[in-house]
Amino acid sequence: VQLVQSGADVKRPGASVKVACKASGYAFTGNFIHWVRQAPGQGLEWMGWMNPNSGGTIYSKKFEGRVTLTRDKSTTTAYMELTRLTSDDTAVYFCARGSGDFPPFGHWGQGTLVVVSS
């Protein structure tokens, strides 16, 4: 199992960012993909999950309205888009999956640093 994420990005406040998570080594539609972020020097914060089979999603209340999780089954890639960025969104964003649909997360992407700065 491998989850390989897109590279670091720098965005202006108010912009949007879309992070990719390329999955390989397993049946892409067989496990939910979760997204977790970590601000500099801070802890882990769950953002939501996406069912790659149906496209169904559940979002953390904190991010509802600003985050959208999608997928492309043809390229086995999951995406996390976050809109209306502020400096508080500067963080490393991880995709993760478990052995089933839910935690524990035994597989993680390497993380993608998103910096929001004017």
Binding site for another protein (CB under 8 A): 34, 36, 43-46, 49, 58, 60-62, 94, 102-106, 108-111
Q: Which residues, 6 or more positions from 33, have their beta carbon under 8 angstroms from its beta carbon?
A: 21, 23, 49, 50, 52, 69, 71, 78, 95, 96, 97
Write down the least CB distance from residue 74 to another protein, Å: 26
Taking the least distance from each CB to another protein, the nearer of 52 and 109 is 109
Q: Which two tokens stand for residue 89?
A: 């969104």
Write down the least CB distance from residue 107 to another protein, Å: 9
Write down the least CB distance from residue 102 to another protein, Å: 7
User: 100 near 31, Cβ under 8 Å?
Assistant: yes
Taking the least distance from each CB to another protein, the nearer of 10 and 44 is 44
Taking the least distance from each CB to another protein, the nearer of 15 and 38 is 38
Write down the least CB distance from residue 94 to another protein, Å: 6
Taking the least distance from each CB to another protein, the nearer of 86 and 110 is 110
Between strands 112-116 and 9-11, the pairing is: parallel
Between strands 57-59 and 77-82, the pairing is: unpaired
User: 102 near 40, Cβ under 8 Å?
Assistant: no
